[in-house]
Chains A and B, each alone.
Chain A
Amino acid sequence: MAAETLATFPKGGIHPKESKELTEKLPVEVMPPPSQVRLFLKQHAGAPCRVSVKKRVMTTPSEERLFLKRHAGDLYQLLVKKKDKVFEGDLVGSVEKGLGANLHASLSGTLEGVENVQHPMVGKAPALVISADPEAEPRSYSSVDWKKFSREELIARIKDAGIVGLGGAGFPAHAKLTLGPDVKVDTLILNGAECEPYLTSDHRIMVEHPHDIIEGAKIILKILGIDYCAIGIENNKPDAIEALNRAIAQDTSKNGYKIAVKPLKVKYPQGSADQIMQSLTGRVRPAGARSSAIGIIVQNVYTTKAIYDAVAFGKPFYERVVTIAGKGIKRPANLMVKVGTSLADIVDYLGGTTPDLVKVVIGGPMMGFSVSTFDIPITKTTSGVLFLTKDEVDTESYYPCIRCGFCLEACPMGLEPNNIGIYVEAGRGAETEQFGIDDCFECGSCAFVCPAKRPLVQFIRLAKMKIRESKKK
């Protein structure tokens, strides 16, 4: 390889153990459909879906309407009769107004109703329960030539498919691509950094479906009306870089689009939007602004493939690759699972857990959420589930701050996690805005390097809460 200097961001960052060797070479394996799925009505940023099904199964009598409590306390209606039949790919929840994403049945079967189900992040949340019809055939999709679609039609197809940002934030994809008239964008960045340790789902998608990603990039470029796309990939995935480079070379219908793979230095949090934009373009997003303000749209590589599937096949987003890794699971894998599949079913399928399992994390080890039960469904944004053993996680107690300043060096945003922690411990969390807490996206670099093992992200979340409380008064 040429002695090209790898693009990276200058300020802060850390080098956690990558731990990707468990699954990075494992091809995606399709898990057989489970007997039941539970689909959260809110799988994305924005408002929850309004439950709806096609006319043929909708019933009108008012006594059959189910009322659900929304998190804000108001009520909304469930317009579906219990025990209705649904088919894989059917629309079961729709965007009513504002920001949101459609929801589709991930199984053919019977709609059992709505239950409050344990969510990895927000406690209990309403979810549609569908039990599988074992006889049902998997649905197939036939391709159409996407080039005939106009920009509006492309966006509509993406919106119909219920695609959200698969990198973790879950921002509805169609909303990100719908720009205001005065917004000027010149660069599309496809984020294939996958800087979180353990996770390999984006990696496998890049290795196994490079052509889909390139086509998806062209769809997004057409929507945005621009011609430049940079694909940022951390340099620890040489096979993904090679696959995408080959796909670009083989592509015969470039239409003047300039798509280039840019290897990135392996440094966490390289995949954070702010950091990857700075690494690839040198541009810095002002605090509080959106990335389009500096002329850039960032999409995750997996989201890009989902966009291609939606546009070229009309396939809604209801199944995804999830990395199941860690020393606590008998058989690590990159699994293609239906959205709504329970962790318990996945554990069953992979042969169970090991006796020394101490922690289960939904997402990556740096920013993921630990859970206390296997009774949790996979969502659209679940990129991995980690089963971690005692020697993989830190369960130590913490010390007072010794003011070593390691966190100041590690913070990619130039904040002062040490002082935020000290203030929170002193009961003055509401006074921490001076340390830049608004910019914190909780990447966890500070808590990772802290030799006193202080739970700095926890302190920061507490401080953010205190600030919100004090502003309400």
Chain B
Amino acid sequence: MVETQTETTAITEVEKPARLFVSVSPHVKSAETINKIMWTVVACLMPPLILSVFIFGFQTLIITVISVASCVATEAISQKLLHRPVTVKDGSAVITGVLLAYIIPPGVPYWMPILGAVMAIFVTKVLMGGIGFNIFNPALIGRAFLVATYPVAMTSAWLLPIRDASIFKYMGTGVDAITTATPLYVLKHYGIGAVIEKFGSLASIYGNFFIGWRPGCIGETSAFLLIIGGLFLIYKKYITWHIPVSVIVSVGFFTWVFGGEKLFTGNPLLAVLSGGVILGAFFMATDYVTSPNQKAGQLFFGAGIGALTVLIRLKGGYPEGVCYAILLMNTLTPAIDQWFKPRRFAPQPQEGAQK
């Protein structure tokens, strides 16, 4: 509380309030609050969850609920233990929970998101000082931790999209579900020919992948719904186009240049629609705390994410690189904010010329 409450000593005879608030100006503020922004982001992330239930079955919902609940619980318990104010109501832990669930495969055992949540919230966020002080995107650290600890489950628990509308199909089957491979895995190890063989003609691949009808992490498959959510955030002015567009353009560009057998023969559209590019571009790279503030810096940041993603996809050990690309660029954010400063209104007097 900034305001100090002071007893009024008015000499007036008329009725007067018991006390008046006194504070430094401004005395009116915009209606936007952290809570409102965070819960709007949560709402924008809901359509892909609903779709995922129809694509992979009911357990995507269960995994997401477990992830959110453990993120919120981790934050509340750790803040209690550290004697800090409990801030779970602001919705940021819920976002972390949803995003963590969205970037793990749908076929993992149900206890796995709990470990990821502890890593994401306790280590990455609360220990760093809470909201506003984390260096890395919490959900991505949670995923990176799980990939490092349970590489088999995290890279093979993919499920085929359900075609017969039996949404309870994979319930409780865990890792032993009918596993498949992601398009990026097939592309990396067997080439574009194998992708077409497995997922149909290029035209139908574009269509299916755009809607979300493909193997992948829980919330990353539907470019369509993610873009709708992202556009809503842009419309609300909570994020700007700079980071999402630069990430997507950069992934497409570098894939086109280096992704084919020869230079300039890669397939940019396939690269953008597969993996976590759209989810990362709109919902993870745009995280306020871990992304640069200036528009120019944001373009640089997004372009860097795209370049690193393509580098990891083409030359690294993993088929997908969005997660690590964002985490690597997170480390550069303070430096980017130093490089790109706002342009001042007034021309500054020369050094030494001032009196």
What residues make up the interface of A, taking CB atoms closer than 8 Å to B? Answer: 11-12, 14, 16-17, 197, 274, 284-288, 342, 344-345, 347-348, 351-353, 355, 357-361, 363, 365-375, 386, 388, 392-406, 408, 411-416, 418, 436, 439, 442, 444, 447-453, 455, 457-458, 461
CA distance A121 to B7 in the complex (A): 18
A392 near B349 (CB under 8 angstroms)? no
B20: chain A residues at CB < 8 Å are: 357-360, 370-373
Cβ–Cβ < 8 Å partners of A342 in chain B: 11
A400 touches B130 (CB 8 A): yes
Q: List 23 A-B contacts (CB under 8 A).
A: A11-B345, A17-B28, A284-B347, A286-B349, A288-B354, A344-B12, A355-B15, A365-B25, A368-B27, A370-B20, A395-B3, A397-B2, A399-B34, A400-B132, A400-B133, A405-B293, A408-B294, A408-B342, A413-B346, A418-B293, A444-B25, A455-B24, A461-B24
B27, A361: Cβ atoms closer than 8 Å: yes
A414 to B340, CA, bound (A): 12
Q: Mark B312-355, 1 if CB is under 8 A from A, else 0.
A: 00000000000000000000000000000111111111000010
- Residues on the A chain within 8 Å of B26, using CB: 365-367, 444, 447-448, 457
Q: Across the interface, do A403 and B288 meet the contact criterion of CB distance under 8 Å?
A: yes
A11 to B293, CA, bound (A): 16
A403 touches B132 (CB 8 A): yes
Partner of A353, one of B13, B15, B25, B347: B15
- Of all chain B residues, the one with the shortest Cβ separation from A345 is B12
Pair B28/A393 contact, Cβ less than 8 Å: yes
Minimum C-beta distance from B163 to chain A (A): 42
* Minimum CB distance partner of A388 in chain B: B27
What is the CB-to-nearest-CB distance from B146 to chain A, in angstroms, rounded to a whole number? 26
Verify A371–B22 contact, CB threshold 8 A.
Answer: yes
CB distance B11 to A14 under 8 Å?
no
Question: Is the CB–CB distance between B294 and A405 below 8 Å?
Answer: yes
Is there an interface contact between B15 and A451, defined as CB atoms closer than 8 Å?
no
Main secondary structure of the interface of B (DSSP, over half): loop
Contact count band on B = 35 or more
Q: Which of B27, B131, B344 contacts A393 (CB 8 A)?
A: B27
Give which listed residue, A16, A351, A399, A458, contacts B28 with CB less than 8 A: A16
Q: Say yes or no: is B149 at the interface (Cβ < 8 Å to chain A).
A: no
B81-95: contact bitstring with A at CB < 8 Å (1 yes, 0 no)? 000000000100000
Question: Which residue on A lies nearest to B341, using beta carbons?
Answer: A416
Q: Which of B95-138 contact A (CB under 8 A)?
A: 129-133
Residues of A within 8 A of B15 (CB): 352-353, 355
Inside 8 A of A402's CB, which chain B residues have their CB? 34, 131-132, 288-289
CB <8 Å contact, A398 and B2? yes
B8 within 8 Å of A (CB atoms): yes
Closest CB of chain A to B298's CB: distance in Å?
9
List 5 tightest A-B contacts by C-beta distance, closest first: A444-B26, A405-B293, A344-B12, A374-B10, A400-B132
* Chain B, Cβ-Cβ closest to A418: B293
Given A347-B14, A353-B16, A439-B345: A374 in contact with B8 (beta carbons within 8 A): yes
Residue B36 CB within 8 A of the other chain: yes
Q: How far is the CA of A16 from the CA of B13 in the complex (A)?
A: 34
Residues in chain B near residue A374, CB distance under 8 A = 8, 10-12, 16
Question: In the assembly, what is the distance between CA of A444 and CA of B23, in Å?
Answer: 13
Kindly list chain A residues whose C-beta atoms are within 8 Å of the C-beta of B29. Answer: 394, 447-448, 450, 453
Q: Across the interface, do B14 and A413 meet the contact criterion of CB distance under 8 Å?
A: no
Residues on A with C-beta less than 8 A from B28 are 16-17, 197, 365-366, 392-394, 448
B29 to chain A, nearest CB (A): 4
Minimum CB–CB distance from A70 to chain B (whole Å) comes to 25
Say yes or no: A415 contacts B30, CB within 8 Å.
no
- CA gap between A398 and B85 in the complex, in Å: 12
Give the CA-CA distance A401 to B131 in the complex, in Å: 8
B342 touches A357 (CB 8 A): no
Q: Which of B10, B129, B289 contacts A403 (CB 8 A)?
A: B289
Q: Is residue B148 within 8 Å, beta carbon to beta carbon, of the partner chain?
A: no
Is B193 on the interface with A (CB-CB < 8 A)? Answer: no
In angstroms, how far is the closest chain A Cβ from the Cβ of B94? 15
Known A405-B293, A448-B30, A449-B30; contact A368-B25, beta-carbon cutoff 8 A:
yes
Question: With a CB–CB cut-off of 8 A, which chain A residues contact B293?
Answer: 403, 405, 408, 418
Q: Is the CB of B8 within 8 A of A372?
A: yes
Determine the residue in chain B with the shortest Cβ distance to A328. Answer: B17
Quote the shortest CB–CB distance from B24 to chain A (angstroms). 4
Smallest CB gap from B2: residue in A: A455
A331 smallest CB distance to B (angstroms): 12
Q: Which of B19, B342, B348 contacts A416 (CB 8 A)?
A: B342
Q: Say if the beta carbon of B21 comes within 8 Å of chain A.
A: yes
Find the residue from A342, A368, A416 having the highest chain B CB count within 10 A. A416
Given contacts A388-B27, A436-B344, A457-B25, 4 further A-B contacts (CB under 8 A): A400-B131, A405-B294, A451-B36, A458-B2
A330 nearest CB neighbor, chain B only: B14
Q: How far is the CA of A406 from the CA of B293 in the complex (A)?
A: 9
User: A348 is contacted by which of B7, B8, B12, B345 (Cβ under 8 Å)?
Assistant: B12
A287-B17 CB under 8 A given contacts A408-B294, A416-B342: no
Contact B11 A344 (CB under 8 A): yes
Q: In the complex the two chains form, is A355's CB within 8 Å of B8's CB?
A: no
**CB atoms of A439 and B25 under 8 A apart:** no
B203 to chain A, nearest CB (A): 40
User: How many Å lie between the Cα of A257 and that of B343 in the bound state?
Assistant: 37
In contact, B23 and A370 (Cβ under 8 angstroms): yes
Query: How far in angstroms is the closest Cβ of chain A from B36?
Result: 7
Indicate whether B164 reaches chain A with its CB closer than 8 angstroms: no
A104 to B7, alpha carbons, bound, how many Å? 33
Report whether B23 and A451 are in contact in the complex, using a CB–CB cutoff of 8 Å.
no
CB of B37 within 8 A of chain A? yes
B197 within 8 A of A: no
Q: Which residues of A contact B13 (CB under 8 A)?
A: 348
Question: Within 8 Å CB of A358, what residues of B?
Answer: 17, 20-21
Contact B21 A413 (CB under 8 A): no
Cβ-defined contact, B347 with A451, below 8 A: no
Is the beta-carbon distance between A370 and B27 smaller than 8 angstroms? Answer: yes
B23 touches A458 (CB 8 A): yes
Task: Find chain A residues with CB under 8 A from B131 CB.
Answer: 399-400, 402
- Whether A404 pairs with B288 at a CB distance below 8 angstroms is yes
Tell me the smallest distance from the CB of A397 to a CB of chain B, in Å.
5
Determine the chain B residues whose CB is within 8 A of the CB of A363 once the complex forms.
25
Determine the chain B residues whose CB is within 8 A of the CB of A372 once the complex forms.
6-9, 19-20, 22
Is B25 a contact of A366 with CB atoms below 8 Å? yes
Q: Which of B2, B23, B347 meets A287, CB within 8 Å?
A: B347
